[in-house]
Amino acid sequence: MDQLRTLIMVHEAGTALGAARILGREQSSVQKQIDTMNRNFRELCGEPLILKQGRGKDVLFTGTGEALVELARGTLGEWLDGIHESRRRLGKTLVVGTTRFTLSYLAGAGERVAEEFRQRAIELKVGHVRTRDVLAKLRAKDVDLVCGSVVTRPEGDDELAAFDVMEWRRSGVSLLTNLSEAELPGPTAPSSALRSLPLVVSASGLMAGVLHTWFGGDYRNKLRIAAEIDTVNYGFELLRSGLLRGCMLVTKGVADAAGDPRVAYGRGLRAVELVNDTGPRLEVLLGAFTRRGERASYDAAHPLNLLWDALAQENERWQREQRWPTAGLEPDPFELANSYNPSES
């Protein structure tokens, strides 16, 4: 296994010295392994794996060498996948992904299981997942559970059939704008009006998916894109600054929260709810997701089921206890938690 790993590193780095630096080993150790493999494969196949090209030049992999590198990648990958699958099945490791807006939500659930996880020496790994990768991370088995948002349709979505879904909230799509009511009357507007409005759009993510569904893959050529942003926070700041006059698509939960005086990001901006008249009706589903059937294959004491139950309890707590002064509308608690600056209250 170690020789195969070394071979892959030499292939990626180009030289034994480069591979040694990646592996944190001496060059002589790497070169010795390469020489041994070269000798063995010359006897087995009649061709070495690697040919030297001269001082300071990358080595040349032969046909046999290239074939073995591909075989080595598959072998090591399957071996590691097998180890991870065993740890997952036995409940020794639990890998959870979370978007920025759901981190505080997960933290509350984590506190509920922390003591049992500590007593049973269960390793909980938490990583940041971008909204556009929520389901992709589950499909690739990079995570066991993910908290985040997906765009779906009220009547159901085939894409979600492969997952167990704990639904926390569904939200429509709204606009946050610094345009006057003369320029954009409210409190609602048809989605077809987006064709003529100056828009601040994210390069990727939920709202990019909404525009793609409504206006096609070339929506950038059909709409008035005033600014393209990498983060929603920058979009808030851009509109609040007045440097650009336009609108930004957000979930209705974010737009509702913008009306709360405690929320810094919405000050000076106005919310306009979109009424769909363009394509299929879309909603943003916020919740927790796992691969379908996986929880059922484990007993109730498995860490995946323990954390899932803790998330359900945390959801009940938010619904029972949180009361935000927003004219009867309760914005998502994790959205408020990440946008509320106590020093500005």
- CATH code for the domain in which residue 72 is found: 1.10.10.10
pLDDT the model gives residue 276: 85
Task: Identify the residue whose tokens are 């994790």.
Answer: 334
Which among 241-245, 253-257, 261-265 has the top mean pLDDT? 241-245
Residue 244: domain span:
173-281
In DSSP terms, 94 is beta-bridged to: 124
pTM: 0.63
Contact 211, 201 (CB under 8 A): yes
- Where residue 210 falls among pLDDT bands split at 50, 70, 90? confident
Task: Identify the residue whose tokens are 């506190």.
Answer: 111
Q: Work out the percent of the chain whose per-residue pLDDT is above 70.
A: 87
Domain boundary among 87, 106, 131: 87
Report the pLDDT averaged over residues 153-162. 82
Question: Are 142 and 180 part of one and the same domain?
Answer: no
Q: Which residue has the higher pLDDT, 92 or 33?
A: 33
Domain tally for the chain?
Answer: 3
Domain boundary among 64, 87, 110: 87
CATH of residue 195: 3.40.190.10
Model confidence at 338: pLDDT above 70: no
Domain boundary among 87, 120, 145: 87
Contact 326, 260 (CB under 8 A): yes
Question: Are 162 and 294 part of one and the same domain?
Answer: yes
What distance in Å separates the CA atoms of residue 196 and residue 199, rounded to the nearest whole number?
9
Report the pLDDT averaged over residues 159-164. 90
Question: Are 236 and 183 part of one and the same domain?
Answer: yes
Question: Are 263 and 199 part of one and the same domain?
Answer: yes
- Where residue 264 falls among pLDDT bands split at 50, 70, 90? low
Please give the span between the terminal C-alpha atoms of the chain, in angstroms, as a whole number.
59
* pLDDT tens readout for residues 65-80: 999 999 888 888 777 7
Question: Are 248 and 198 part of one and the same domain?
Answer: yes
User: Does residue 314 form part of some domain?
Assistant: yes
pLDDT the model gives residue 88: 66
Model confidence at 329: pLDDT above 60: no
| Element containing residue 202 per DSSP (H, E) | strand 198-202
| CB atoms closer than 10 angstroms to residue 211 | 24
What distance in Å separates the CA atoms of residue 61 and residue 69, rounded to the nearest whole number?
9
- Where residue 262 falls among pLDDT bands split at 50, 70, 90? low
Give every strand in the sheet of 224-229, ordered side by side: 188-190, 270-275, 173-177, 247-251, 198-202, 224-229
Model confidence at 162: pLDDT above 50: yes
Q: Which of 225, 210, 213, 218 is nearest to 174 (CA)?
A: 210
User: Does residue 189 form part of some domain?
Assistant: yes
The mean of the pLDDT values for the chain is 83
Q: Which residue has the higher pLDDT, 246 or 22?
A: 246
Question: Are 41 and 26 part of one and the same domain?
Answer: yes
User: Does residue 21 form part of some domain?
Assistant: yes
User: Does residue 331 form part of some domain?
Assistant: no
Q: Which residue has the higher pLDDT, 97 or 233?
A: 97
Model confidence at 116: pLDDT above 80: yes
Non-local (6+) Cβ contacts of 46 within 8 A are none
Question: Are 116 and 67 part of one and the same domain?
Answer: no
Report the pLDDT averaged over residues 90-94. 76
pLDDT the model gives residue 259: 63
Model confidence at 334: pLDDT above 50: no
